[in-house]
Amino acid sequence: MDMKSTLVLGGARSGKSRRAQALVEAAAAQRIYLATAQAFDEEMRERIARHQGERDDSWQTVDTPLELVSTLQDLKDSQRAVLVDCLTLWLSNLMLGGRDVAAETAGLCAAIGEMKTPVCLVSNEVGMGLVPETPLGRAFRDEQGWLNQRVAEVVDRVEFVAAGLPLVLKG
């Protein structure tokens, strides 16, 4: 498959990150991993280390917990394929940082459209579970759903991963 822009959705431990990494590895010999996670505790540091251990030396990692849009704009002419993992943590960072989520989402969608190199974005599908009990939880679920919809509109391909198996929704 000739990858241009792809959104890979799934639930926790669905295999979405592994699927996205395989797509990017098939797309280019040189790759950039845009990491949105922040290691605030030991458990998260271990998760990040595990993800890093799954990538070889052909990957360059760039930490971008908040400035994803400007980072993508800087990479739009790159010869390296780009993996963004993940939009869910990026959204959480934006909301907790008091950022304008609608403006950031619009900027992200514009940046995706300007990419001349393959880009694959990972995001969680959070709307299939229980209704969160707190206002912040409900706001996050709503914003995540809207973010996923906006990104799905602008990418060439959308895959949903469950039990490690990809289902093509678009493209």
CATH number where 111 lies: 3.40.50.300
DSSP annotation of 39 reads: -
Kindly tell me if the per-residue pLDDT of 53 is higher than 60: yes
The pTM (predicted TM-score) of the whole model is: 0.94
One DSSP character per residue, 52-100 reads: HHTS-TTEEEEE-SS-HHHHHHHHTT-SSEEEEE-HHHHHHHHHHTT--
Q: pLDDT value at position 2?
A: 67
Question: Residue 51 — pLDDT band, cuts 50, 70, 90?
Answer: confident
Cβ neighbours of 133 (radius 10 Å): 7
Q: Which of the residues are catalytic?
A: 51
Binding positions are 10-17, 35-37, 85
Joined together, the tokens standing for residue 94 give 């934006």
The domain total for the chain is 1
| Residues of each annotated binding site for GTP | 10-17, 35-37, 85
Domain containing 28 equals 5-170
Average pLDDT over residues 61-65: 95
